[in-house]
Amino acid sequence: MKTMLASATLAAMLVAASTAIAEGVPKNVNYVSHEKVAEMFVKGGYVVNDNGVAIGANRGKAREAEMHDKTNHVFIIYDGEADLVTGGTIIDPKVVSPGQTHGSRIEGGELRHVVKGDIITIPAKTPHWWKDTSKTGSIGYYAVNIEQ
């Protein structure tokens, strides 16, 4: 009986582990043409959204600070330059949707000047803020979002 219980427990753990591994991994081959990517840079939005992995093509300007409880970012800077603050404390925080907090700015944190070719990762629950895009007017970047 103990052997059957142990086997059943092990089987349940393996199923749970394989399910956890599968999250945040695309289930399909996703091809996006350069025309579609260029279109998305103009209007902003996701070019891939598959099983907890979303890739956005964005052109951003200075805006509110934000933090996501379950979204990990990889930003790949494609065009322009900006001052990006990560970490610190969001000022005037407000929950805009479940797991999504915005605020007027960040106090503390680390200021980085990012330019074309840079890559930055931002773990879930890390405040981040496009503080200044005035040198080039905007920042073009791919946002690879991985949900936990």
* Residue pLDDT, tens place only, 90-129: 999 999 999 999 999 999 999 999 999 999 999 999 999 9
Q: What is the pLDDT confidence band of residue 7, given thresholds at 50, 70 and 90?
A: very low
Provide the whole-model pTM: 0.81
The residue segments making up the domain with residue 64 are 2-147
What is the torsion angle, in degrees rounded to the nearest 10, for the CA atoms of residue 61, residue 63, residue 67 and residue 68?
-60
Q: What is the pLDDT confidence band of residue 23, given thresholds at 50, 70 and 90?
A: low
Top-confidence residue, 112 or 52: 112
* CATH code of 86's domain: 2.60.120.10
Query: Total domain count for the chain?
Result: 1
Helix (H), strand (E), coil (C) string for 49-79? EECCEEEEEEEECCCCEEEECCEEEEEEEEE
Closest CA to 83 of 55, 123, 110, 57: 110
Cα atoms found within 13 Å of the Cα of residue 15, Cβ hemisphere only: 6
How far, in Å, CA of 98 to CA of 114, rounded? Answer: 29
